[in-house]
Amino acid sequence: MTKELVLNILTKELNGRKRMRFHKKYGNREVYIREYVPYEDRFYHLTFWFEDNNSDWLWVRNCYPIS
């Protein structure tokens, strides 16, 4: 998974969509999960959070295709 693919998914598929609610708190961090994000005939699972609750630092992990 490249950072270019993650950026394409975030900008093309999630840009302008409705606001997401956080899924779970891990310590002080609010974690957001978006399942079944379509991109180029595949679905992806995204888990992301903001570093120190600062919107300038977005972290993404577990971004993998779902069959």
Structural domain range at position 39: 3-66
- pLDDT band of residue 30 (cuts 50, 70, 90) is confident
User: pLDDT over 70 for what percent of the chain?
Assistant: 81
The mean pLDDT value for 51-57 works out to: 75
Number of domains making up the chain: 1
Degrees to nearest 5, angle at CA 15 with 2 and 33: 65
Q: Kindly report the backbone phi and psi dihedral angles of residue 9, in degrees, each rounded to the nearest multiple of 5, phi listed first.
A: -65, -45
The answer, as to whether pTM is greater than 0.85, is no
The mean pLDDT value for 6-20 works out to: 73
pLDDT value at 19 more than 70? no
Query: What per-residue string of b and e applies to 24-56 under the rule 16 or more CB within 10 Å gives b?
Result: eeeeeeebbebeebebeeeebebbbbeeeeeee
Provide the pLDDT for residue 67.
Answer: 65
E-assigned strands of 6-66? 24-26, 29-39, 42-50, 58-66
